């Protein structure tokens, strides 16, 4: 009887809300829906924190948070570090867009009987000796150059709380040197990993939030200026010494990223495995996106060698730019056949050798960035 009363009450409430909505629409015929976009494009600093850290993850289109169980988990999902079985070190390098360079290095060690792990990582990004262009010197003929160097130094702790659940946290210091000005910030990443079986095959799920921390503002000698105060209106200028002033820059937030990921072993044998992966991501400085990927791994008999092939697809909703038509009010004075690419492919592979307690692996990835073109990434990993 009580359950029936609750259902009737809920139906009455829905009916009241519907009538109220219709009534407001009828009494306000001029109400229209105005589209809006509140995405904070271009409002974050240190966006190198969003570049994929390893060749394996890049080849999978970034859909790696649920599968991560190596040193790359310090970037993709800190919880995965607790799943590593032996101490190890790794390094990866990417010749990024427009002549920039990206490098990631990491070291980790399990302890506590293998249920816990700790790791350190360093990420660098930047370029050097680029000409300085100013209003007075638009061709850069004065010979002045500048460099950009961005760095993140991080420590990760992860723990398995049961045979099916692990969690991890990363704390990092981020520094940003832009020419002669610099800034710094502190951030944390938090991730969880749930691993079980479905139809007799491994299934994994992950939740990750990255780069949650303080804002970054810059300071440096170029921001110190001299200023001559102007007299009030109608009064003559009087002799005065120029005063020093410090320009204050806006504090920029870091590029926070939220991820939900899933990985499932579609089939497994004693020598091979095919894993299908999917991930949804929501950054604070762009539109949400998603990725799908597959990784096939096969051991070459009892030789100790194994090979892996990887393929990924990514949707980037904000990469939909096209050059405005000459008849458009947004026409910029030029035409171009270049167009954005919201759907992007990535691919790569790996070769690994492991015997006894020693292992070494090499990975390669190609990742497409739509309108900006594609990049290549190489990585090497050791464990002992």
pLDDT (tens digit per residue) in 319-330: 777 766 777 776
**Which CATH topology does 51-131+143-227+240-383 take?**
Porin (2.40.160)
pTM of the predicted structure, to 2 decimals: 0.82
Residues listed for the chain: 384
Query: Could you give the CA distance from residue 35 to residue 344 in angstroms, rounded to a whole number?
Result: 27
Which residues 6+ apart lie within 8 Å of 65 measured at CB? Answer: 76, 77, 80, 191, 206, 208, 259, 261, 279
Helix (H) or strand (E) holding 153: strand 145-160
Distance in Å from the first CA to the final CA of the chain? 67
Per-residue pLDDT of the chain (384 residues; tens, 9 = 90+): 444 444 444 443 444 344 344 444 444 444 444 445 667 778 899 999 999 999 999 999 999 999 999 999 999 999 999 999 899 999 999 999 988 999 999 999 999 888 999 999 999 999 999 999 988 888 888 888 999 999 999 999 999 999 999 999 999 999 999 999 999 999 999 999 999 999 889 999 999 999 999 999 999 988 888 888 787 887 877 787 888 888 888 899 999 999 999 999 999 999 999 999 999 999 998 889 999 999 999 999 989 999 999 999 999 877 777 766 777 776 666 666 666 778 999 999 999 999 988 999 999 999 998 888 899 999 999 999
Q: Which residues of 22-61 are buried (b: 16+ CB within 10 A; e: fewer)?
A: eeeeeeeeeeeeeeeeeeeeeebbbbbbbbbbbbbbbbbb
Quick one: tokens of 368? 């497409």
pLDDT (tens digit per residue) in 208-250: 999 999 999 999 988 888 888 787 887 877 787 888 888 888 8
Quick one: tokens of 299? 């051991």
Which pairing describes strands 358-368 and 343-355: parallel, antiparallel, or unpaired? antiparallel
Q: Please, is 257 exposed, middle or buried when counting C-beta atoms within 10 Å of its C-beta (0-12, 13-18, 19+)?
A: buried
């Amino acid at each position: 009887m009580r359950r029936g009363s609750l259902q009737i009450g809920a139906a009455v409430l829905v009916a009241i809300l519907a009538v109220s909505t219709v009534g407001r629409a009828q009494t306000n015929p001029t109400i229209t829906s105005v589209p809006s976009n509140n995405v904070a494009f271009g409002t974050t600093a240190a966006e190198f924190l969003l570049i994929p850290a390893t060749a394996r993850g890049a080849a999978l289109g970034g859909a790696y948070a649920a599968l991560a169980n190596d040193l790359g988990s310090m970037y993709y999902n800190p919880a995965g570090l607790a799943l590593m079985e032996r101490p190890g070190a790794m390094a990866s390098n990417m010749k990024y867009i427009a002549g920039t360079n990206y490098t990631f290095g990491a070291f980790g060690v399990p302890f506590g009987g293998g249920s816990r792990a700790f790791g350190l990582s360093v990420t660098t990004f930047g370029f050097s000796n680029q000409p300085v262009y100013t209003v007075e010197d638009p061709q850069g003929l004065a010979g002045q150059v500048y460099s950009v160097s961005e760095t993140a130094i991080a420590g990760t702790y992860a723990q398995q709380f049961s045979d099916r659940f692990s969690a991890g946290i990363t704390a990092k210091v981020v520094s940003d040197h832009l020419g002669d000005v610099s800034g710094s910030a502190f951030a944390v990443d938090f991730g969880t990993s749930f691993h079980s079986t479905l139809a007799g095959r491994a299934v994994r799920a992950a939740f990750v939030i990255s780069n949650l921390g303080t804002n970054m503002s810059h300071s440096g000698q170029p921001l110190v200026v001299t200023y001559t105060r102007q007299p009030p209106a109608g009064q003559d200028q009087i002799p005065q010494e120029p005063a020093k002033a410090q320009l204050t820059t806006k504090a920029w937030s870091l590029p926070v990223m939220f991820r939900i990921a899933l990985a499932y072993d579609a089939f497994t044998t004693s020598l091979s495995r095919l894993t299908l992966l999917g991930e949804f991501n929501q950054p604070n400085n762009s539109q949400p996106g998603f990725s799908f990927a597959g990784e096939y791994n096969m051991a070459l008999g009892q030789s100790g060698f194994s090979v892996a092939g990887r393929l990924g697809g990514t949707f980037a909703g904000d990469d939909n730019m096209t050059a405005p038509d000459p008849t458009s009010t947004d026409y910029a004075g030029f035409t171009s056949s270049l167009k954005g690419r919201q759907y992007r492919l990535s691919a790569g592979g790996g070769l690994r050798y492991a015997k006894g307690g020693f292992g070494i692996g090499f990975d390669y990835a190609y990742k497409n960035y739509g309108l900006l073109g594609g990049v290549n990434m190489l990585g090497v990993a050791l464990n002992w």
